[in-house]
Amino acid sequence: MELRPNRIRRKLEAGEPAFVIGGFTHADDIDAFGPVGFDGVWLEGEHGGVDAADLGNLTRACDIWGMTSVVRVNRNEQGLIYRTLDRGAQAIVVPHVDTRADAQNLVAGGKFPPLGKRGLFTSRQGYGVGDYLARANDETLLIALIEDIEAWRNLDEILEVEGIGVFFVAPSDFAASMGHIGEMGHPDVQEKIDDALKRIVAAGRTAGTLAMNNNVRHFAEIGVRFFFTVTGPWVAAGAGAFKASALEGVT
């Protein structure tokens, strides 16, 4: 049995963009989306309904389509991070990485020794893989959420921590931390977000963010390579266009 490759990590390391979709809570939905050709599925374990018991089926569905299973956990706790990996996740997203110490704790929980302190266990991704413990670090992707103004202030130190594959600037919490709750488009918020992304790229690290149809090109032009989007706006736009076309033909 060969260790499954981490599609997102491979693409990013080759300098290519990686596209990740969120909004699914059932394996059948992942199967239905599989042929579209995205690189990964964001499984929401902080704000959404994804629990540890769900991860076996959800990550298996991702495996079937060669997509990376990206799981956001709800806290920066080493045991939670490596248990989520043990359940089959190939990538972990950790919220509120505000300091160098926070970043180091993420690596400690997400990487086997000597890089980290992940508990030694052959996860579902390692069944039948004889050298899993020696190779798992190479196929595990750790993603730090830069979502507070404190993280922006400490960003240079955070970027010095090795072992993190993506530094993801999260706009909603970022805006709230600046006193602009619900105002992601506020000029001061956009300025800080763009600055953070540019600093990540300038440091030779991989930048990620939430992108929609109206701003994804802007982020690509400043060097973002990890693009996360959600299904809701697409469904709403398609449904609106469908109804509008029908109503135009109603006499």
Residues classed as catalytic: 47
On the CB side of 40, how many CA atoms lie within 13 Å of its CA? 30
| Residue 154 backbone phi and psi in degrees, to 5 | -100, 10
* Radius of gyration for the alpha carbons in the chain, expressed in angstroms and rounded: 19
100-129 as b/e: b if 16+ CB within 10 A: eebbbbbbbbbbbeeebbbeeeebebbeeb
Distances (CA, A) of 225 to 38, 188, 212, 239: 13, 23, 14, 29
Q: How far apart are CA 8 and CA 13, in angstroms?
A: 9
Please give the Cα distance from 107 to 101 (Å, whole number).
10
The Cα 197–Cα 34 span in angstroms is 29
Q: Are 61 and 88 in contact (CB under 8 A)?
A: no
| Cβ neighbours for 185, distance < 8 A, ≥ 6 positions apart | none
